[in-house]
Amino acid sequence: MSVDRAVLVGAPLKTLDEGIAREHLEELTRLTDTAGGQVVDVVRQRIETPHSRFYIGKGKVDEIRDCVSAADADLVIFDDELTPAQGKALEDRIGVRVLDRAELILDIFATRARSGEAKMQVELAQLQYLLPRLKRMWTHLSRIRGGVGLRGPGETQLESDRRLIGRRIADLRKKLETVTHGRTIQRQSREGQFRVALVGYTNAGKSSLLRALSGADLFVEDRLFATLDSATRAVDLGERFEALVTDTVGFIRKLPHHLVASFRSTLEEAREADVLAHIIDASHPGWEEQKRVVEDVLVDLDLGDRPQILVFNKVDRLTHAEEEALSRRVRAFDETPAVFLSALRPETLEPLRALFKARIRGGLRHLSLRVGAHDGETLAMLYREGEVLSQTQDGNVIELEVRLPLPLAGRLLQQPSVELARDHGSPT
């Protein structure tokens, strides 16, 4: 199977830090590799503002054309999103296919999607991206759009495609609404359980961490966007506490907005979670920028105000001194609770489990109850879904001191066989 040979083009603004600009191109190289392409050359040009026709200067476009010819390249990939007009002008002048970063990411998602839902989400994003670019594909056809008196045999291929894509987009949205409804029912069935959503930059180690916490056999690969489908697993926290932990799709800088919109139903898991665990690759030199990217996407999804825990993963790649310095830096400038661990070292995961347990305890109601000794079903429920601190029996009545999730406490106190002896409030 032939491999596409690609020339990469980076055109950062002159105001962007040189180190960050270099990191952007390195990431584009990894994206190209993930998509199955081979990078044969890289062209750079720092610009004041994007050129209206070519995004970059005309002379630089000619230089890219020469690079394509010399390297026998099949395509050119820009690190920034191009307008439909810019894409067409570049293809006409260079003579090969031109992609931008957004289109490359969409292509990766298309090859990585496994579940029916993920495939529909990616197709929807691709069609929304393609729709304004159809004219670039059909410039040899009539410019007349279909309309009254022009439909049927006289309709242009361009307009026909527009209508077909419009219908397919509507169909996909309807199907995804059905999937979203099903997810809502699933989440309702988990009411009362402590839920955690893992969010973070792609390749930060979310799937590896979920596998380490749960012991589940999850697919893990050291590549960008190795997994797209969310996975939820039960995690034993010890002391009879349990959390439902969901791995969500990874974020990346310059993430296509159509893609974010399409994956909203999947990311609803994060909206319903009790806490977001923001996974950060502690060994990455640009972790602070990656952290900001994730925070910006969370704000776009109206998740910026959700309770968070910062989880700095891959500390096994740091020296002890580097880990200590990172810890001091984070705790000095960020009030969000933070833990430092490695998904590859099980002994480092205990502080994260302890933070989850503290969150659970903070949401429990501390009560002293009297329950009839004959009510075995209620007693079993207290032990199964709550934390029983003490138990004594006085004749036919059992007195218990318990910590219970608020929904369970509310239901139990309405049962005639359960009497409230004392409400200790919520533990601190």
Confidence of residue 401 (pLDDT cuts 50, 70, 90): very high
Of 304, 329, 360, which one is at a domain's C-terminal end?
Answer: 360
H helical segments located in 191-263: 206-214, 257-262
Q: Extract the tokens encoding 290.
A: 């990656």
DSSP letters for 114-144: -SHHHHHHHHHHHHHHHGGGHHHH-TTS-SP
Whether residue 87 has pLDDT greater than 70: yes
Predicted confidence at residue 220, as pLDDT, reads 56
Residue-wise over 133-162: b if at least 16 C-beta within 10 A, else e? ebebebeeeeeeebeeeeeeeebbebbebb
Predicted confidence at residue 149, as pLDDT, reads 40
Give the count of domains, the chain.
Answer: 4
Given the structure tokens 């579940």, which residue do they identify?
115
Whether residue 161 has pLDDT greater than 90: no
Predicted confidence at residue 13, as pLDDT, reads 92
Least confident of 41-50, 126-135, 306-315, 374-383: 126-135
Confidence of residue 177 (pLDDT cuts 50, 70, 90): confident
- Is there a single domain that holds both residue 212 and residue 239? yes
Confidence of residue 146 (pLDDT cuts 50, 70, 90): very low
Confidence of residue 266 (pLDDT cuts 50, 70, 90): low
Of 184, 207, 236, which one is at a domain's C-terminal end?
Answer: 184
Give the structural domain span for 395. Answer: 364-425
- Is there a single domain that holds both residue 97 and residue 152? no
Least confident of 103-107, 160-164, 191-195, 264-268: 264-268
Confidence of residue 252 (pLDDT cuts 50, 70, 90): confident
pTM for the full predicted model: 0.79
Predicted confidence at residue 228, as pLDDT, reads 61
Give the Cβ contact number of residue 416 at 10 Å. 7
pLDDT tens sequence across 207-251: 899 999 998 766 555 556 656 667 788 999 988 788 999 888 788
- Supply the CATH number for residue 18's domain: 3.40.50.11060
| Enclosing H/E stretch for 105 | helix 101-112
- Is there a single domain that holds both residue 289 and residue 311? yes
